[in-house]
Structures are given as structure tokens and as C-alpha cells.
Amino acid sequence: MGKRKALMAGNWKMHTTAVDGCQLAVDVASACADFTDREVLLAPPFTILSEVSHILKGRPVIIGSQNVCWEEKGAFTGEISPIMVQAAGGSAAIVGHSERRQIFGETDELINKRLRGGLSFGLLMIFCVGETLEEREAGKAFAVLYEQIKKGLADVAAPDMAKVVIAYEPVWAIGTGKTASKEQAQETHAFIRGVLEQIYEKNVAEQTRILYGGSVKPTNVDELMAQPDIDGALVGGAALDAQSFGRIINFK
């Protein structure tokens, strides 16, 4: 089958307030051509989801949150619910980012709850996985990824996989300037697709988009996107600069 529709996602992390965030969003939207083979997603901080959605109304940009709770409402201090994301104009959410796992101690089980919660409200879910440098050097990368995927997707039914995008982000490549080589990334993406085939079936594995993340830049995006199993990018640092992200979404 042909390649899946690419998804180019910008994760703004804890950067931007209303004025600079809206400006960045508008500049990114201006860099979007009439794409038919790719989608663009922005994940601003919770505080400006509404402003960014509002200013991009009618533009072909998907808005997502950087995390999401599984409940609609309740006593969950510090959390954001799927309906809050939707009310703010969002239709997607990132879960399992390595910063959530490493800095905030989120476990596979918690991430699975977030993932299933977001799906139950119809959000497009970007589910992140990735190994640390220590794990890669010890030859454990695939075992770690297998575990994260298996546990993260527990009780996610095959039809729901249409709304799941996997983001492979080697922790050692995030914000470090070190990118996995295109061969390393392709090999790992192919492995992840194999795990999906094992959990679900060939169809699901072939249709699920697998994004690469970790120091994606204008200078490496083309070779990464040329790999058969790389279906997009989750971009941090370079997504904060409209010119860089504009070039990334216009990968050749």
C-alpha cells in the first residue's frame, strides 16, 4: 500500500503566552500549502488552546493539548479533561511524552488511562514511546519499546487504533541536537509496526501512523520522511520557530 497521510506535529511544551503563541500559530498556518498528503498539528500550552484555536479557525491546522485526563470533570487538581480540550477548540492530545514519564513520574498504566480516556471522547491521540540512552546502549531499546506499547495500548480495541498515532521519540535525541540516524529510526519504526501487527493485525499495523521525534530540523526532515515507516514528526524546539517549522511541514 502507499504511504499513510503524514502528520507533522509541533509540541510547544512550556513555551509561549497568548501574544507570541498566536503569532507563531498564524505564521505556521501561512506556511501550510494546500496539502493533500499531510496534516499539521499544533500543541500549545493549555492556557492558550482557546486563543490559538480561535485565531486559526478555518485554517487546516489541528489543535491538540500536551496531555489529557480520562475523566470529564471532577477533583483532579492540575488536570485538563477531554471536553475542556474540545471546548477550547482542540481535537487531539499528546500522552506519554518522555518528559511526563521522566520528570513527572507517569507510568505506562497511567498513560494507558489517559489514552483510553481521550479516545472515549473521540480525540486523536498521539501516544509517545521511547528508550533512554542507557537502555539503547544496553541493547534493551526494543524490549523497552515493546513494554511501553503493550501496556500503553492495553484494552485499546482495533477500531480505536484509527484515532491513535504513535510517536517514537528516543529520549537521548530530545532537545539534545542528536537525531537518530535515518537507518536507526527506520529500523525502530519497522519494529514498532511489527509490534502493532502482533497485538492487532496487519491492517491496523499498516494504517497506524508512526511519527519520529527528537531533534527534527529543516536539515534532517527530508531524509527522515523518506523512510518507508516514518509517517511524520513530533517536533519540539524547531516548532517554536515559524520558519523552521514551516520548512519541516513542507518536507520534500
The catalytic residue positions are: 97, 169
By beta-carbon proximity to ligand PGA, the closer residue of 131 and 205 is 131
Nearest to 209 by CA among 128, 113, 118: 128
Q: Select the span of 54-62, 65-73, 132-140, 169-177 touching ligand PGA (CB under 6 A).
A: 169-177
CA 41 to chain centre: 9
By beta-carbon proximity to ligand PGA, the closer residue of 54 and 217 is 217
Q: What is the H or E stretch that residue 67 is in?
A: none
Instruction: Quote the CA–CA distance of 175 and 235 in Å, as a whole number.
Output: 10
Binding mask of the shown chain, residues 188 to 217, with x at each position contacting ligand PGA by CB under 6 A: -------------------------xxxx-
By beta-carbon proximity to ligand PGA, the closer residue of 11 and 67 is 11
The yes or no reply on residue 130 touching ligand PGA (CB under 6 A) is: no
Alpha helices in the chain (DSSP H): 18-31, 49-55, 82-87, 98-102, 108-120, 133-137, 141-152, 182-199, 202-207, 221-225, 242-249
**Are residues 32 and 40 in contact, defined by beta-carbon separation less than 8 angstroms?**
yes
**Are residues 49 and 86 in contact, defined by beta-carbon separation less than 8 angstroms?**
no
User: How many chain residues are in contact with ligand PGA, going by CB under 6 A?
Assistant: 13
The yes or no reply on residue 235 touching ligand PGA (CB under 6 A) is: yes
The yes or no reply on residue 236 touching ligand PGA (CB under 6 A) is: yes
Nearest to 98 by CA among 44, 144, 40: 144
The yes or no reply on residue 11 touching ligand PGA (CB under 6 A) is: yes
Among residues 51, 106, 131, 169, which is the contact residue for ligand PGA, using CB under 6 A?
169
The yes or no reply on residue 64 touching ligand PGA (CB under 6 A) is: no
Check the CA dihedral 18-24-27-28 and report its sign.
Answer: negative
Nearest to 14 by CA among 128, 130, 103, 90: 103
Q: Select the span of 14-22, 113-121, 199-207, 230-238 touching ligand PGA (CB under 6 A).
A: 230-238
3-class DSSP state for residue 113? helix
CB of 31 to ligand PGA, least distance (A): 17
CB of 61 to ligand PGA, least distance (A): 17
By beta-carbon proximity to ligand PGA, the closer residue of 10 and 82 is 10
The yes or no reply on residue 175 touching ligand PGA (CB under 6 A) is: yes
Alpha helices in 32-140 (DSSP H): 49-55, 82-87, 98-102, 108-120, 133-137
| Nearest-CB residue for ligand PGA | 236
The yes or no reply on residue 10 touching ligand PGA (CB under 6 A) is: no
Binding site for ligand PGA (CB under 6 A): 11, 169, 174-175, 213-216, 234-238
